[in-house]
């Protein structure tokens, strides 16, 4: 791991990203609500559409961040980084 990668990892951990994006593929272990810090506009109600449980509204699977630079576009609706 080079210095830039080390700085990035430190930031990732300190900012709390690893609370959700963790484990072997840096994600894939849990479902979390999106739009907690800033509202996220989406018609997709996430897990709620399958479970019908009120608290599952806007809850999505935490995606793996493995090879993240190559796996865009991002988020369940592909709304970010659609450069292809």
Distant-in-sequence, close-in-space partners of 57: CB < 8 Å, separation ≥ 6: 33, 45, 46, 48
- Our finding on whether 28 is near ligand HEC (CB under 6 A) is no
1 versus 27: smaller Cβ distance to ligand HEC: 27
- CA-to-CA dists, residue 8 to 13, 29, 79, angstroms: 9, 22, 24
From the list 2-10, 47-55, 71-79, the region that binds ligand HEC by CB under 6 A is: 71-79
Cα angle vertex 8, ends 26, 5, to 5°? 90
Of the candidate residues 22, 29, 57, 76, the single one contacting ligand HEC (CB under 6 A): 76
Under the rule (CB under 6 A), what is the footprint of ligand HEC? 15-17, 19-21, 32, 34, 60, 62-63, 65, 68, 71, 74-76
């Amino acid at each position: 791991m080079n210095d830039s990668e080390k700085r990035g990892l430190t930031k990732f951990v300190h900012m709390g990203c690893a609370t959700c994006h963790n484990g072997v593929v840096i994600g894939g272990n849990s479902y979390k609500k999106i739009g907690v810090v800033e509202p996220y506009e989406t018609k997709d109600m996430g897990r709620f559409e399958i479970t019908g449980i009120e608290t599952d509204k806007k809850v999505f699977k935490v995606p793996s961040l493995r090879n993240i630079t190559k796996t865009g576009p991002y988020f369940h609706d592909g709304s970010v980084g659609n450069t292809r």
